[in-house]
């Protein structure tokens, strides 16, 4: 079973998720132990206050408060020895699970006319864009779009696009 491990911090008293890992494990405590092994390495997010383990349906199984005495790695000091201290098998499993599970399919196709709004704001939707290519998604599908008035491609996220129903698809 794959467990979601969230690294959380308190920001002005509000908990926020810094990073998520997908860890295949037999149970929740084993997934928490796998996340705890990252402590003190460069793979441990800076300013982590708590770790939450959830099952694949989003139910919280464990919450673990990071001890205040634990040493948090600095964002600026990266030592090669830190990377070697993480179990290679665990690291490769986490990375392959993340790439297999997170990317969502693209909703739009190459050549499709779309409207674009920066940061997904509802006010100024600008039409006249066309999808030039699909980018490899990390967490959300991305697209390269181009307008007739622009000589460059713009890389945008899926939430910043919507189908442009007023435009016709250009014949190729």
Tokens 């139910």 correspond to 59
Terminal C-alpha separation, the chain: 46
pLDDT tens-digit readout, 11-67:
877 888 888 888 888 888 888 888 888 887 877 887 888 889 988 888 888 888 888
pTM: 0.41
Residues in the chain, overall count = 172
Q: Quick check: 72 pLDDT over 60?
A: no
- From 36-40, 79-83, 106-110, the region with the lowest mean pLDDT: 79-83
Q: Which residues contact 11 (CB under 8 A, 6 or more apart)?
A: none
Reported as a pLDDT band with limits 50, 70 and 90, residue 123 is low
């Amino acid at each position: 079973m794959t467990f979601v491990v969230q690294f959380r911090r308190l920001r002005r008293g509000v908990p926020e998720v810094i990073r998520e890992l997908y860890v295949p494990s037999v149970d929740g405590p084993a997934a928490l132990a796998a996340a705890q092994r990252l402590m003190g390495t460069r793979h441990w997010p800076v300013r982590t206050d708590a770790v939450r383990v959830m099952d694949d349906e989003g139910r919280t199984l464990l919450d673990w408060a990071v001890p205040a005495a634990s040493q948090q790695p600095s964002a600026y000091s990266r030592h090669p020895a830190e990377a070697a201290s993480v179990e290679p098998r665990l690291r490769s499993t986490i990375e392959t699970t993340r790439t297999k599970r997170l990317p969502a399919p693209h909703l739009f196709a190459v050549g499709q006319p779309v409207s674009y709004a920066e940061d997904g704001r509802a006010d100024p939707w600008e039409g006249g864009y066309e999808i030039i290519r699909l980018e490899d998604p990390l967490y959300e599908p991305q697209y390269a779009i181009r307008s007739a008035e622009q000589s460059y491609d713009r890389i945008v996220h899926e939430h910043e696009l919507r189908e442009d129903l007023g435009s016709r698809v250009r014949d190729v």
